[in-house]
Chain A
Amino acid sequence: MSFSWRKARTIAEREYLTTVRRKAFLFTVVGTPVLYAILMTLMIRPQMGDRARQMRDFRVLGVVDSSGVFAEAEKEIVGTVASDFSVLAAQVSKRDSFRVAVRALPDQTEGERALRAGEVSQLLVVPAGYLETGRLRRYAISTNIFSSQDERAVTGWVVRSLLRGRVDPQRVERVARPARGMELFTPDPRGAGGFEPHDERREMVDFLLPFAFGMLMGLCIVIGGQYLLQGVAEEKESRILESMLCTVNASELLAGKLFGLGAAGLTIVGAWIAMGALFGGPVLALAQVHVQSRILALAVVFFLLGYLFYGSIMTGIGAITNNMREAQQFAFLFTFMNFIPFYLMTSIVGRPDSGVALGLSLFPPMAPVAMMLRLSAPSSAVPAWQIALSIGLLAGAAWLALFVSARLFRIGLLMYGKTPTLPEILRWVRQS
């Protein structure tokens, strides 16, 4: 069968331009990151605000002390709480100070009354045998499952009160927050051989970078694959393909679609990277992040192979199904497989050399995302043979998927009506 690159290029050009000119494409490019930023803001900022609000509302701590241990305790708790978070900088951007008055109450009955009457925000009951048992009871009208800021404030007050007058004030402060000034040193990321102070922002980036790499890889593959699925299913449903196949052959059509719609997927990811660099670039620069060129080169290889693998599968599904709804149902399984590594992310990024991480990065459907997570993990040192084996297996699987898909594509495009069974599909592959 002759193959015309000119025809394949014409098809690729049309597929690309038709896709990127759609309003839905623009919405995906701009809307998705904006939506993500809004969601993050809606999720994280209220949590920060809740903590600050919780401490602002925490005005009076009532104490019923039956042990007498807290007779000379401090009459006020003073501290600060994070109250805002910058999504783009991925860090706390503001802290609020708080003051909680401590009021002694004669007994638990009076304490509960005061709590119900709102005269105290919380009630701490110290039983007579506290020093021996260590048992305390705290009463509150409401609690916040996502914040233990109030508990930390009360704990600090208990520590300071226990030591007050027995230990010098400096030691009291050290005991209350023993590790506050502890600095963490980690190996120099530039490989100079020494250690340097660990940067929290960098730690955040170290966590986010593999996540972002894997997510971009997974999304790019899935978006390109979805475009293919949608394009083939729609063309089949609207009976365009038969007149097309008279003028071009199935291989030219398949190649044109793979190139054109893959480029559309890459355009989306490219736009996201550009937007990320624009808004997050200064933070990455501050954290002295420099992505290794080796990882970037491997990302391109894994993307191309991953896209070829999933794109071929999506094309095959589009060709054998009768409409978009049916195609989506089949495609879901494969889309899900691509994202499985994210569910095991803590295991992969935390221990990139573990058996789970190795297994996932060698299994072709999950290899692109899993290997990207491994390669960009902070403590990563993936052996070259594992990378080579992963690429080899993925390339083999991609070739097999393309081979089967091309055969299904050739026959399935002209089959209408009942969705074929697995034996029928296998027969098509053998016969075409």
Chain B
Amino acid sequence: MLEVRDVVKTYDGRAVVNRVSFEVRPGEIFALLGPNGAGKTTLIRMITDILKPDSGTITLDGRPVGGGLKHEISYLPEERGLYRRVPVLDALAYYGRLRGLDARAARTEAGTLLERVGLEDWGMKQVQALSKGMQQKVQLCTALIGSPRLMILDEPFTGLDPLNVQLLEEVLRERRAAGVTVLLSTHQMNKVEEQCDRALMLNRGHMVLYGEVRDLKRRYADHALMVRAGRLPARVPGVRMVESVNGELKLTLEPDAKPRDVLRSLVEQGVELESFSHSVMPLEDIFIKVVREGLGLDHGQSGPPTADGLVEQGAGAKGTGR
């Protein structure tokens, strides 16, 4: 388990990461979110022991990450490159050796990984001979080789075509099944909704959201119902506004109205309901809303909320993982 406790990093007196605490469980795909400049890269660099925190602790299975654990962690940075004038197999095997494999095992695993991503015929070609998409798949392989226990992937979907996005998702699921912990930093919120179990959102170095993805969405659900139905009566008790959204009707409720009562009222008035559901705000909208409103800084507290504070507010479900 990766545990980050009260980590602070300041540059020129400004806290880039401020009292951040969270944990990522084995076999979990965890999203690290936040707008540009939120402190995500600095936090990742501290987790990978590239930077040292000013205070706080970061441990992997109870041991500080700076010790002999470097080969247990792999990192695919957002801005990434490869040695261009070496054969693909050699470039990959090199990373394998640095993660503790012997030369033969490193080449064998490199070959297996290339096969997994459909590049088995390109092993002896120089990296510079590969297309950009192919190079991205090789870069992904550098994060996979050596079977690290913690994989940190920063915008891994960028630049991939739909087929390769699907391939990456499959690979991530395979790794999760094998007990590998994945920390995913991305701005593609649909991928977070599809792939991630839990998420942490930073804004200006502070934690502003932390918890299970579905809980976060529930918390930010607007007080509304989505229904697919025939003609609605002119007035429905408890409904403040009706609008059409993507072929469905969105019923925004009065603050004190209960969805159950509204549905009962519709049935009693003879409305033929084909389907109904709670209106859920997409994660992307939650992201924009949180960032725009500076929600984390607007709690009437003296400072930003801590992880515990966020959990108390129902934003997360610490300790209630799947």
Contact = CB atoms under 8 A, between A and B. Distances in A.
B82 A240 contact: yes
Interface string A1-17: 11010010011001000
A22 B99 CA distance: 26
Interface stretch (A38-46, A71-79, A246-254): A246-254
Contacts of A243: 74-77, 80, 95, 139, 142-143
Interface string B65-102: 01110110111110111111110000000110111000
A273 interface: no
A238 B84 CA distance: 9
Given A2-B68, A243-B80, A246-B48, 9 more contacts: A2-B67, A10-B98, A18-B85, A235-B83, A238-B83, A242-B80, A246-B74, A247-B70, A248-B70
Nearest to B143: A243
Interface string B45-76: 10011100000000000000011101101111
A414 B45 contact: yes
Interface string B132-152: 000000010011000000001
A4 B82 CA distance: 23
A401 to B, nearest CB: 23
B195 to A, nearest CB: 21
B247 to A, nearest CB: 45
Contacts of B74: 243, 246-247
A239 interface: yes
Interface string A225-247: 00000000001001110111111
B100 to A, nearest CB: 8
Contacts of B80: 239-240, 242-243
Interface in A409-428: 414
Nearest to B99: A247
Contacts of B139: 243
Interface of B: 45, 48-50, 66-68, 70-71, 73-77, 79-86, 94-95, 97-99, 139, 142-143, 152
Interface residues of A, number: 22
B103 to A, nearest CB: 9
Contacts of B95: 243, 247
24 contacts: A1-B66, A2-B66, A4-B68, A11-B98, A14-B94, A235-B83, A238-B82, A238-B84, A239-B81, A240-B80, A242-B75, A243-B74, A243-B142, A243-B143, A246-B48, A246-B73, A246-B74, A247-B70, A247-B71, A247-B74, A247-B98, A247-B99, A248-B70, A249-B70
B254 to A, nearest CB: 52
Interface in A363-392: none
Nearest to B146: A247
Contact of A245 (B50, B94, B142): B50
Nearest to A11: B98
A389 B291 CA distance: 63
Pairs of residues from A and B, 7 with the lowest C-beta to C-beta distance, nearest first: A246-B75, A238-B81, A239-B81, A246-B48, A242-B77, A239-B79, A240-B81
Nearest to A238: B81
Given A247-B70, A247-B98, A240 B83 contact: yes
A41 B82 CA distance: 44
A242 B50 contact: yes
Contacts of A235: 81, 83
Nearest to A10: B97
B260 to A, nearest CB: 51
Contacts of A18: 83, 85-86
Contacts of B48: 245-246
Contacts of B71: 247
Contacts of A238: 81-84
Contacts of B77: 239, 242-243
A240 B71 CA distance: 17
Greatest chain B CB density within 10 A among A235, A239, A243, A246 is at A246
